[in-house]
């Protein structure tokens, strides 16, 4: 599509997007949800880009000031899974052995891998968005805002650490939030079993309990019965079974005899023999005496199973609540990695539900129980089971510790806030999203992973007190020193004058006269500080400086201590060269921490010895005033440590582009003393990436630390968004996370209007799959038919109102022919007759009916599209466009061709067409920006804005609306007459002698009909209802 590329070049050369961004006007607030850049843009990305771009171009043309800033989602399991695959790492232990620092380094590289391609493809698709000043969820400023949000919510009582039954991914070894769990359900085949639990004191008598998770049976500590159900003891052969009376006919397929009936409360307290002997003999097991008995529970029903429920408190919400209420033993016989613990001797190390063979371990357990005559029945069942939304591993219901946001107490506020939102389509508000809000659960916002924003929580290893940090400044203010430290750099040496590196401790490096004088001056300034002693680097220049200070301060010789850990960084083979050469050796600031010069050390090595020195000093001395004399880099590190972690981080060497490095393991190394004398250490968890993306409205503005002129919810500045758009699945993701955080922090919904789009599927209705190759490459489609056609295909389909779309390249091709090609043909026709030299004439009110009609249609088009866009209904807004292009091309232009050749009428015909092209280009601009620009540039005057995308939205006079209905009827008559001709096999070249119609149109329309139908005469048969029946006679020759 050469014309699109020309328009793109025009926009870039003339900074059209930047000019549209700089325009003043009433702010229209937009939040752009951040995508991952771990692959190339797919149809889903392009669809949401088309939706966003159409609305935002329209708002700009309506005079609003719209900030359109791109963002990137950088953290979380999606990134970690990619890196794990690249490095062949399968478990958390593998990552820890590989090294968290190196792993996160690879994660950062992976995040940025495809950014360059995105920056080509998104603009090529015609989207106006600022990708140069993007926000990234991994940047330190973004993380600092997240810390602020966490602490603010914690102070409001909305954050807590808890131990709950949750779903975990055993491969990722982390918990998942309930809305993440909901993204991964799929039908699977599992084994359901009915197990025999031997009743204590009753020979050959068993409780029957049913489960679909046999792997939880080694952790069984109780059985639950309903206080409302009636139970029976039945005899089958030589054995007796106890189960719910109503379930007996379903469970017992053969003959049985009811011995007696029992109520649930009669069974409570009865004991049974454990299925496995791994834990019941453990004297150290808390509440052991209360285990392996029957308890009453309201959640037990007679709808399925046996009416008796197997209880394993570590593996289910109901089980855990009953366990807590009845003080049952707590047995967690499975690790976070999804494998049996060593205590489970018969199955130790086995995965309880592997991805490749989910039923394998269940089968092992059933064989074991069958060998002990404890298996009553088994069958395969198909049921919906949750899988990890990123790695597709079956999830486990598992009691785990996590940090939670107390969403349940916000339920009413969330529902109320949702009522203020206009959803497209409308049914989402009270339907899918509204119902979801009614059932909200507390949000597990922490993850036991590596690549993510760290939770700002420090816990004392002695008294367990917590310190919640809400900013870098607050972290920087943490007092870590038991002594008062003063820092001094050595005086000048000759090498300093020419930037020479001198990291050899054996070298003679005396101070220059100026250097000695400056040290003496500094010493006199320290005279009133009453130093206890001086600790110096062993280098010649630092020791000389130390002696000068000691003499001036009157310190005894034994007050001067030499410590090699304060020495200059060892630059290896760069000693003797220049610092510029040394720093140029590294490809990036990050490399200075990881790469070693030959024979030297890196900054990580130097940091370790500096930290060791400080810890040693803190343990050896207390309440001392210590002067440290060292070199530039060691002193920078010391200064940051003395001033607190914030200063340390502000050096930002490792991640210079985004500010200080806040990722693991750097943040984990930050410790400080607790008031009890213990050490405060950061907990290892990171944030759920949905918490990060949900923080986007305020975190991308680095609120509340700066940019208060553009974001301040208290003043209604920058919050809430007037418009957002993403896929329907984000009702469980970004839309949900934003609403929770927005209401929790600011008391109101973070958005006013939401467009939720559906999924784009392959043409056969299946999910698009790279493996199956069941869809065309989006870039190839754009190359064949252009971005305009693809955009319009999306925007005119039901996918913009949350319905799924089976993608058809034929559909794109059809719109290309109907819209783009027709418009380009109209433009070509205009260019053929346009006189660039002659001044344009005004459109005449007395022009022929076709001119008046097309101008009325233009006004009608603008009105209908405006109504659709104002309602955020893009399919409604696009529908009139294709109809108008058809009217313009196949009726107006075809019926007006002779006028353009007529010297007397040409200028007026061109004036009308020029007006139509210019104003319609503005209406087309939000949807088909390339062809709109080409049309506009062909007809704009020097006084007009240089781009259609800098123009104001057309506000056109109504025009002669009276022409619309008659012209519509005239065209209907023509259509029916031509249909009649075809049916009667009368060619168009053959004139009709007479055509009789009902309700003959006005005279000025009859000439159009006569020319189109090729009849010599037409008469009206009735003056009744206007309409469209055509009566004709055979032609006479």
Candidate list 93, 416, 767, 773, residue with the active-site label: 767
pLDDT at 1036: 34
Q: Are strands 1030-1032 and 995-998 parallel, antiparallel or unpaired?
A: antiparallel
Candidate list 210, 215, 690, 853, residue with the active-site label: 690
**Spans of all domains in the chain:** 2-158+688-757, 174-405, 481-643, 812-959, 966-1032
pLDDT at 477: 57
- Cα distance between residue 943 and residue 953, in whole Å: 16
The strand ranges marked E within 480-548 are 484-489, 533-536
The strand ranges marked E within 527-632 are 533-536, 560-562, 625-630
Protein fold of 481-643: Rossmann fold (3.40.50)
pLDDT at 779: 94
Model confidence at 86, in pLDDT bands (50, 70, 90)? very high
DSSP assignment letter at 952: P
Q: What is the pTM of this model?
A: 0.76
- Cα distance between residue 568 and residue 579, in whole Å: 13
Helix (H) or strand (E) holding 543: helix 540-553
- Cα distance between residue 220 and residue 180, in whole Å: 28
Rg (CA), the chain: 39
pLDDT tens for each residue of 735-783: 999 999 999 999 999 999 999 999 999 999 988 887 788 899 999 999 9
Start-to-end C-alpha separation, the chain: 51
Candidate list 32, 73, 134, 540, residue with the active-site label: 73
The 3-state DSSP class for residue 186 equals strand
174-405 has the same fold as 2-158+688-757:
no
DSSP assignment letter at 435: H
pLDDT tens for each residue of 112-135: 888 889 999 999 999 999 998 899
Class of domain 812-959: mainly alpha
Candidate list 734, 853, 891, 953, residue with the active-site label: 734
C-alpha distances (whole Å) from 590 to each of 141, 597, 656 are 18, 14, 8
CB 949 within 8 A of CB 57: yes
Least Cα distance to 920 among 884, 945, 947 occurs for 884
CATH superfamily label, 2-158+688-757: HUPs (3.40.50.620)
CB 288 within 8 A of CB 282: yes
Domain 174-405, CATH: 3.90.740.10
Q: CA angle 1022-1025-1030, nearest 5°? A: 60
Q: Mean pLDDT: which of 297-311, 348-362, 473-487, 863-877 is highest? A: 863-877
Task: Look at 71 and 659; give whichever has higher pLDDT.
Answer: 71
pLDDT surpasses 50 at 644 = no
- Cα distance between residue 195 and residue 372, in whole Å: 11
C-alpha distances (whole Å) from 689 to each of 165, 209, 243, 915 are 21, 40, 46, 51
C-alpha distances (whole Å) from 738 to each of 34, 471, 591, 677, 744 are 12, 21, 37, 40, 10
CB 672 within 8 A of CB 478: yes
Q: Is 690 a catalytic residue?
A: yes
pLDDT at 565: 95
Q: Is 607 a catalytic residue?
A: no
Which range (44-58, 586-600, 606-620) has the least confidence? 586-600
Model confidence at 1000, in pLDDT bands (50, 70, 90)? low
The 3-state DSSP class for residue 448 equals coil
Least Cα distance to 692 among 139, 61, 227, 251 occurs for 139
Question: Number of helices and strands (H, E) in the chain?
Answer: 38, 35
CB 184 within 8 A of CB 395: yes
Q: Is 147 a catalytic residue?
A: no
Percent helix, strand and coil across the chain, each to the nearest 5: 45, 20, 35
- Cα distance between residue 633 and residue 606, in whole Å: 9
Least Cα distance to 702 among 477, 474, 454, 472 occurs for 472
pLDDT at 647: 35
Phi first, then psi, for residue 343 (nearest 5°) are -65, -30
- Cα distance between residue 52 and residue 122, in whole Å: 12
pLDDT surpasses 50 at 659 = no
C-alpha distances (whole Å) from 369 to each of 306, 345, 353, 488, 636 are 18, 14, 18, 74, 66
Torsion of CA 961, 967, 968, 970, to 10 degrees: 160
pLDDT at 1027: 41
Q: HSE (CB half, 13 Å, CA atoms) of 578?
A: 6
pLDDT at 785: 96
pLDDT surpasses 90 at 614 = no
Q: To the nearest whole number, what is the mean pLDDT of the chain?
A: 87
Q: Is 730 a catalytic residue?
A: yes
pLDDT at 900: 85
**Residues 6 or more apart whose Cβ sits within 8 Å of residue 597:** 571, 572, 573, 574, 582, 585
CB 766 within 8 A of CB 804: no
- Cα distance between residue 49 and residue 636, in whole Å: 46
- Cα distance between residue 199 and residue 211, in whole Å: 18
The 3-state DSSP class for residue 881 equals helix
User: How many other C-beta atoms can be found within 10 angstroms of the C-beta atom of residue 765?
Assistant: 8
DSSP assignment letter at 717: B
pLDDT at 62: 96
DSSP assignment letter at 1015: B
The 3-state DSSP class for residue 382 equals strand
CB 72 within 8 A of CB 34: yes
Least Cα distance to 217 among 355, 299, 373, 331 occurs for 331
- Cα distance between residue 740 and residue 744, in whole Å: 6
Candidate list 386, 442, 730, 922, residue with the active-site label: 730
pLDDT at 390: 76
DSSP assignment letter at 34: P
What average pLDDT score do residues 831-835 get?
Answer: 83
Q: Is 853 a catalytic residue?
A: no
**Residues 6 or more apart whose Cβ sits within 8 Å of residue 38:** 78, 79, 82, 110, 111, 113, 114
Q: Are strands 185-198 and 1030-1032 parallel, antiparallel or unpaired?
A: unpaired
pLDDT surpasses 60 at 646 = no
Helix (H) or strand (E) holding 604: helix 603-620
What average pLDDT score do residues 364-370 get?
Answer: 94
- Cα distance between residue 480 and residue 614, in whole Å: 10
Structure-block tokens of residue 486 = 């003063």
Candidate list 380, 508, 556, 770, residue with the active-site label: 770
Structure-block tokens of residue 719 = 């919050």
What average pLDDT score do residues 86-104 get?
Answer: 90
């Amino acid at each position: 599509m050469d014309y699109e590329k020309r328009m793109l070049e025009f926009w870039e050369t003339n900074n059209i997007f930047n000019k549209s961004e700089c325009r003043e006007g009433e702010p229209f607030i937009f939040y752009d949800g951040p995508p991952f850049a771990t692959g190339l843009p797919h149809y889903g990305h392009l669809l949401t880009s088309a939706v966003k771009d159409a609305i935002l171009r329209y708002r700009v043309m309506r005079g609003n000031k719209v900030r359109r800033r791109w963002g990137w989602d950088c953290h979380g399991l999606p990134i970690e899974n990619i890196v794990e695959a690249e490095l062949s790492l399968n478990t958390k232990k593998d990552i820890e052995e590989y090294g968290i620092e190196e792993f996160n380094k690879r994660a950062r590289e992976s995040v940025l891998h495809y950014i360059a391609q995105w920056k080509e493809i998104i603009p090529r698709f015609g989207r106006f968005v600022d990708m140069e000043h993007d926000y990234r969820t991994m940047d330190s400023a973004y993380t600092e805002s997240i810390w602020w949000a966490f602490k603010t919510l914690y102070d409001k009582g909305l954050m807590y650490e808890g131990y709950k039954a949750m779903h975990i991914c055993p491969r990722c070894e982390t918990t998942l939030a309930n809305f993440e769990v909901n993204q991964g359900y799929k039908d699977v085949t599992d084994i359901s079993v009915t197990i025999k639990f031997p009743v204590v004191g009753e020979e050959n008598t068993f409780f029957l309990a049913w489960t679909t998770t046999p792997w939880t049976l080694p952790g069984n500590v109780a059985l639950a019965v309903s206080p409302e159900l009636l139970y029976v003891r039945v005899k089958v052969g030589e054995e007796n079974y106890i189960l719910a009376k109503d379930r007996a006919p379903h469970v017992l397929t053969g003959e049985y005899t009811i011995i007696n009936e029992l109520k649930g409360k009669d069974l409570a307290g009865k004991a049974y023999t454990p299925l496995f002997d791994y834990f019941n003999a453990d004297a150290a097991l808390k509440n052991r005496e209360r285990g392996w008995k029957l308890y009453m529970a309201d959640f037990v029903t007679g709808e399925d199973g046996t009416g008796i429920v197997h209880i394993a408190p570590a593996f289910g919400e109901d089980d855990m609540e009953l366990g807590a209420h009845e003080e049952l033993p707590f047995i967690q016989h499975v690790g976070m990695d999804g494998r049996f613990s060593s205590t489970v001797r018969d199955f130790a190390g086995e995965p309880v539900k592997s991805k490749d063979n989910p039923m394998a371990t269940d089968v092992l357990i059933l064989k074991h129980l069958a060998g002990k005559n404890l298996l009553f029945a088994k069958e395969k069942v198909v049921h919906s089971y949750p899988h990890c939304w990123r790695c597709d591993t079956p999830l486990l219901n598992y009691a785990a510790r996590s940090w939670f946001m107390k969403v349940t107490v916000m339920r009413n506020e969330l529902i109320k806030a949702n009522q203020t939102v206009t959803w497209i389509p409308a049914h989402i508000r009270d339907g899918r999203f509204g119902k979801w809000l009614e059932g909200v659960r507390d949000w597990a916002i922490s993850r036991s992973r590596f690549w993510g924003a760290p939770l700002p929580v420090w816990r004392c290893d002695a008294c367990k007190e917590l310190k919640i940090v809400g900013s870098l400044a607050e972290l920087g203010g943490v007092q870590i020193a038991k002594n008062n430290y003063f820092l001094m750099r050595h005086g000048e040496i000759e090498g300093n004058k020419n930037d020479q590196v001198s990291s050899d401790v054996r070298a003679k490096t005396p101070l220059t006269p100026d250097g000695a004088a400056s040290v003496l001056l500094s010493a006199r300034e320290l005279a009133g500080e009453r130093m206890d002693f001086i600790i110096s680097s062993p280098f010649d220049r630092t020791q000389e400086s130390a002696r000068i200070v000691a003499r001036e301060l009157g310190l005894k010789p034994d007050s001067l201590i030499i410590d090699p850990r304060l020495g200059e960084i060892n630059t290896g083979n760069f000693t003797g060269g220049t610092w510029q050469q040394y720093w140029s050796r590294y490809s990036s600031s990050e490399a200075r921490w990881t790469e070693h010069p030959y024979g030297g050390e890196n900054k990580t090595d130097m940091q370790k010895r500096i930290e060791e020195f400080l810890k040693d000093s803190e343990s050896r001395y207390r309440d001392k005033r210590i002067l440290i004399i060292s070199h530039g880099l060691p002193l920078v590190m010391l200064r940051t440590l003395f001033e607190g972690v914030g200063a340390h981080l502000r050096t930002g060497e490792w991640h210079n582009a985004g500010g200080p490095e806040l990722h693991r393991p750097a943040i984990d190394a930050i410790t400080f003393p607790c008031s009890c004398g213990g050490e405060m250490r950061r907990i290892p968890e990171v944030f759920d990436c949905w918490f990060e993306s949900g923080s986007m409205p305020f975190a991308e503005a680095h609120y509340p630390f700066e940019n208060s002129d553009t974001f301040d919810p208290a003043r209604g500045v920058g919050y809430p968004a007037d418009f957002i758009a993403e896929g329907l699945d984000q009702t469980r993701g970004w839309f949900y996370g934003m609403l929770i955080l927005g209401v929790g922090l600011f008391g109101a919904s973070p958005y006013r209007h939401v467009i939720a789009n559906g999924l784009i599927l392959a043409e056969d209705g299946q999910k698009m799959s790279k493996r199956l190759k069941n869809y065309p490459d989006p870039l190839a489609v754009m190359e064949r038919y252009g971005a305009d056609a693809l955009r319009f295909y999306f925007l005119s389909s039901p996918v913009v109102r949350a319905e799924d779309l089976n993608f058809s390249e034929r559909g794109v091709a059809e719109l290309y022919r109907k819209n783009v090609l027709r418009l380009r043909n109209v433009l070509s026709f205009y260019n053929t007759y346009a006189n660039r030299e002659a001044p344009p004439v005004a459109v005449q009110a007395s022009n022929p009916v076709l001119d008046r009609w097309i101008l009325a249609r233009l006004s009608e088009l603008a009105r209908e599209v405006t109504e659709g866009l104002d309602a955020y209904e893009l399919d409604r807004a696009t529908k009139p466009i294709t109809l108008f292009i058809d009217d313009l091309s196949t009726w107006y232009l075809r019926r007006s061709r002779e006028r353009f050749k007529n010297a007397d009428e040409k200028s007026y015909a061109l004036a009308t067409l020029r007006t139509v092209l210019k104003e319609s280009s503005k209406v087309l601009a939000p949807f088909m920006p390339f062809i709109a620009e080409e049309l506009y540039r062909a007809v704009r005057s020097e006084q007009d804005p240089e781009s259609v995308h800098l123009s104001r939205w057309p506000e056109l006079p109504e025009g002669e609306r009276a022409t619309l209905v008659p012209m519509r009827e005239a065209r209907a008559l023509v259509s029916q007459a031509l249909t009649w001709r075809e049916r009667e096999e009368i060619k168009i070249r053959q004139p009709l002698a007479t055509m009789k119609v009902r309700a003959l149109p006005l005279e000025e329309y009859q000439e159009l009909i006569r020319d189109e139908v090729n009849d010599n005469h037409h008469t009206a048969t009735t003056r009744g209802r206007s309409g469209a029946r055509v009566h004709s006679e055979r032609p006479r020759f």
